[in-house]
Structure 1
Amino acid sequence: MIRAQVIGSGACSPERVITNDFFEHLVPGADEWIFSRTGIRERRFAREDQATSDLATLAALNALQAAGIPATEIDCIVLGTSTPDMSLPATACIVQKNIGASNAFAFDINAVCSSFVYAMEVADNFIQCGKYKTILAIGADTYSKILDFDDKTTCPLFGDGAGAAVLQATDAPDKGILCTYMRSDGNGWPLIQVPSSGSRKPVTAETIAAHDTTFKMSGKNVYMFATEVIPEIIRTLCQKAGIEPSDLTYIIPHQANVRMIDFISKKFGYPKERFLLNLDRCGNTSAASVALVMAENMNNGTIKPGDLVLTMGFGGGLTWGGLLIRF
């Protein structure tokens, strides 16, 4: 049986560090106010001249270096993002040019914060069908470009970043992506949106003045959604694999809010130290979230060969899903 194994991963976090004190204009004592509610101490913002493709390119090059292969071996690039460089062309095509992946085809996928998990699902299916051997999956976002910095309920949550994984076909038993679970519910699309950003409500001077070109989220409803679907992802993937949550080496959750992780840790009796996190340092990096944590922990030696890791994402759409990976 052909499976998709992760042979290398890479990350890119912008150099500009934004501490919670940056938001002091919104709420007195911003550091403690934000940390107590989210677990976030700081995040990274891209420079004004940095776009999503710039971060994605660096993450991709780092992943290729870790995998030990040239870009010309890549058959396909799937880039997950909800902050593309522009509405067209696909940001993946810009990354393809930047890294010299001349033999690949490239396209974007947008499942908001679930985008990298969705990109991994696409890569896994492409490899399993036997038509393609090596695929580059990327998650990248620059939410600092779309935040409303007058909205204290959303703007302190997010940071910028990119992560990438090189997946390659293997016939080794019990290795690679073992099973996946993907879902969406379009009934919840209004909960997370940028109202004026496309054909339904084109950008005008009026929509800019009304802040309709910035990110909007119904935080309480999204929290309720997340605490429902996270247990669903864990139970379903474990049932598919015939294992218990206690058999997992680590869980890489979407880095949204430490309260969600505390809730899941208690619900499943799963030790919090076995959740791999960078939330305190990076905030919610949307599509990059899971990809960044995976790259950090593969490259620092925390994730070792043979480890069984469950990754999960959830976000706008509404979308959610997960993958069970044997490294």
Structure 2
Amino acid sequence: MARAAVLAGLSAYLPPRVVPNAHFADLRLSDEWISTRTGISERRWVQGQSTSDISVEAGAEALKSYGSDDIDLVILATQSPDHFAPSSAPAVASRLGLGGVPAFDLAAACSGFLYGLATASSLIRTGQAERILFIAAETASLYLNPKDRNTAPIFADGAGAVVLRAGEDDEPGSLGGFDLGSDGDLAHLVLVPGGGSRARADGWALDDRAHLVMQGRELFVNAVTRMSESSTKVLEEAGWKPDEVDLVVGHQANRRILEAVGHELGIEPERMYINIDHTGNTVAATIPIALTEAVREGALRPGHRVLLTAFGAGATWGSTLLRWPEISLA
């Protein structure tokens, strides 16, 4: 059998501060208006925490889930690092007691988890690593303009992490083929024009160029199209039919986007896992957070065929498949 990357540990972390839709009443946005258009009722925002702080929380739990801290490499997918330089991953690895292992950041916005899985899988398949801790973490709230009705209610904070180990490609948890893509002509859809998360967490003054801006309608259309096309491609390459997929865990950007993707794929709503109602859009972290919650709820069980798909700023997108393994959550 061919060497493969196998999912062997999983965790999620959400900051303790809960921000309900009522928080946005001053923007003349009602709970009904927000929930109807986005599917979000509440979200979590950090207070005094940076991206590396919540990365350590998720990473520690993933190592407990795996049952070992014998790790060769750490990857951190984030669009909101502590600093523009240096990378946050080495600091996270150090705080987790992982010594001098190689560590680096990866930035692919809401597609970061798929890009990171593909990168980690390649490193394991080619023998460059045996065990990788891969964390996706974001403090998106620190990049928001609190007066922007288009973005303030949507984006949120959180972290998720997985441990991948070397194994064989017929094992449960073995990552299948990947489809990745990008289109730089769509960079204007989601953009922070100009300022990392540590400065923002410490209350440094920022101008309007440091806030996230979004073109919602155009983003919606492109997200549905690209996620559907990418998902179809990996399904066809694996020889899976849509009705053979037990659960689709997509990037949690908007409930209506996920429902539209399910419609395009011919997959019933009950097989589209959605948890955005209480998490909001945590950018790169949405999928590992959703996977963790799906396991805890019993919606995701060993042997299930799972489709992962995402679309994000850049624009970037990606998809992959796996059969769900036995995983013990910490």
TM-score, structure 2 length as denominator? 0.92
Deviation at 1:304, TM superposition (A): 2.1
Assess if the C-alpha contact under 8 Å between 2:245 and 2:307 holds in 1.
yes
Q: Does 1:35 align with 2:35?
A: yes
CA distance in structure 2 between the aligned counterparts of 1:279 and 1:110, rounded to whole angstroms:
22
Q: CA deviation at 1:208?
A: 4.0
- Displacement of 1:296: 2.2
The aligned residue for residue 327 of structure 2 is none
1:154 maps to 2:147: no
CA–CA distance in 1 between the matches of 2:106 and 2:265? 32
Quick one: which amino acid aligns to residue 44 of structure 2? R
Comparing 153-162 with 189-198, which one deviates more in the overlay?
A: 189-198
1:214 equivalent in alignment to 2:211: yes
Residues 7-156 of structure 1: pairs in structure 2 closer than 5 A = 7-28=8-29, 30-47=30-47, 49-70=48-69, 73-156=70-153
Tell me the distance in 1 between the aligned counterparts of 2:182 and 2:41: 31
The answer to whether the Cα contact below 8 Å between 2:169 and 2:175 also exists between their aligned partners in 1 is: no
In 2, the alpha carbon distance for the partners of 1:162 and 1:88 equals 21
Among 185, 188, 198, the residue aligned to 1:187: 185
Q: Provide the C-alpha distance between the structure 1 equivalents of 2:74 and 2:320, rounded to a whole number of angstroms.
A: 19
1:290 is paired with a residue whose SS is: helix
Residue 283 of structure 1 is aligned with which of 273, 280, 283? Answer: 280
**CA apart distance, 1:301:** 4.1
* Gap regions ≥5 residues in structure 1: 199-206
Structure 2 Cα separation of the partners of residues 281 and 54 of structure 1: 21
- Aligned residue for 1:126, secondary structure, equals helix
Contact 1:234–1:245 (8 Å) recurs in 2: no
Secondary structure at 1:25 match in 2 = helix
Task: Return the letter of the residue paired with 2:177.
Answer: C
Q: Give distance in 1, aligned partners of 2:179 and 2:317.
A: 8
Residue-by-residue CA offset, 1:160-217 (whole Å, 9 max, x unaligned): 000000000112525310111111111111221111149xxxxxxxx944x1110011
The alignment's C-alpha RMSD in Å is 1.5
> Secondary structure, in 3 states, of the residue corresponding to 1:155?
coil
Partner Cα distance (2:228, 2:180) in 1: 14
Alignment-derived partner of residue 309 in structure 1: 306
Superposed CA deviations along residues 248-286 of structure 1, whole A, max 9, x for unmatched, are 111101001111122122223312111122100001000
The one-letter amino acid of 1:52's match is T
The answer on whether the counterparts of 2:159 and 2:285 sit within 8 Å (CA) in structure 1 is yes
Partners of 2:224 and 2:17 in 1: CA distance: 32
> Hey, what's the Cα distance between the residues in 1 that align with 2:305 and 2:124?
20
Q: Secondary structure at the match of 2:132?
A: strand
Work out which of the residue numbers 251, 254, 274 in structure 2 matches 1:254: 251
Aligned position for 1:196: 194
User: 2: CA distance between counterparts of 1:170 and 1:306?
Assistant: 17
Percent of aligned pairs with the same amino acid: 35
Tell me how far 1:136 sits from its aligned partner.
Answer: 1.0
**With structure 1 as the length reference, what TM-score do the two structures score?**
0.93
Query: Contact 2:195/2:206 (CA < 8 Å) preserved in 1?
Result: no
Contact 1:111 1:315 (C-alpha < 8 Å) held by counterparts: yes
